[in-house]
Amino acid sequence: MNEQVAKLIVCIVLALALIGAGAAAAWKWQANAYDKLLADQGAAYQADLSSIAAAGAEQARQALEQQQVAQQALADLDAKSTREKADALAQNELLRRLYGGSQADNEKLRADVAAGQRRLRIAGTCSVGTGGGNMPQATSATSLGDAATVELAPATGRTVFDIRAGIASDQTALKALQAYVRDVCPMGAATY
């Protein structure tokens, strides 16, 4: 029996060795397959990260470009509006110094007042003298003719031109804001 037991032990050891070698080979093969799978997944993940980073960089570049275009448009609009405001105020100052607008401006204002589209209230002083000025000496209270001239008080004249300057300034600001909304805001809205 010794010989048979020895053969049995050798067969068992040999079987265990073959099973161990098979398990080691299967382990190695499986490890290689998983390593390849992990390497492929890592490469795909890295490619995804690279494409995401490239897309993010492109979006950032486009947003920066749009912002720069909007800033340039705003700077151009600001320069134009500032120029228009300065021109309007210079024109108003010239009119203030001359104490009257151009004939066409005066005619338009006169026609608007006559048509009731505009109203005009002026604080003034009338020079009423006895035989002097533009008023005859004997004028009745019921007379509606051109009896006297009205001269604007200096403060009233300045007030009229100050109001006109404010109107010119406000109109320029309104035009600038309308241009900003029309030209600049749509550029900024595209980035949101």
pTM, rounded to two decimals: 0.43
Confidence of residue 88 (pLDDT cuts 50, 70, 90): confident
| pLDDT of 176 above 80 | yes
pLDDT at residue 157, rounded to an integer: 66
pLDDT tens track for 116-149: 776 665 656 666 554 445 545 555 555 545 545 5
Mean pLDDT over residues 165-192, rounded?
A: 79
pLDDT tens track for 29-66: 888 888 888 889 999 999 999 999 999 999 999 999 98
Please state the three-class secondary structure of the chain as a single string: CHHHHHHHHHHHHHHHHHHHHHHHHHHHHHHHHHHHHHHHHHHHHHHHHHHHHHHHHHHHHHHHHHHHHHHHHHHHHHHHHHHHHHHHHHHHHHHHHHCCCCHHHHHHHHHHHHHCCCCCCCCEEECCCCCCCCCCCCCCCCCCCCCCCEEECHHHHHHHHHHHHHHHHHHHHHHHHHHHHHHHHHHHHCCC
Confidence of residue 192 (pLDDT cuts 50, 70, 90): very low
Higher pLDDT, 79 or 121: 79
| pLDDT of 28 above 70 | yes
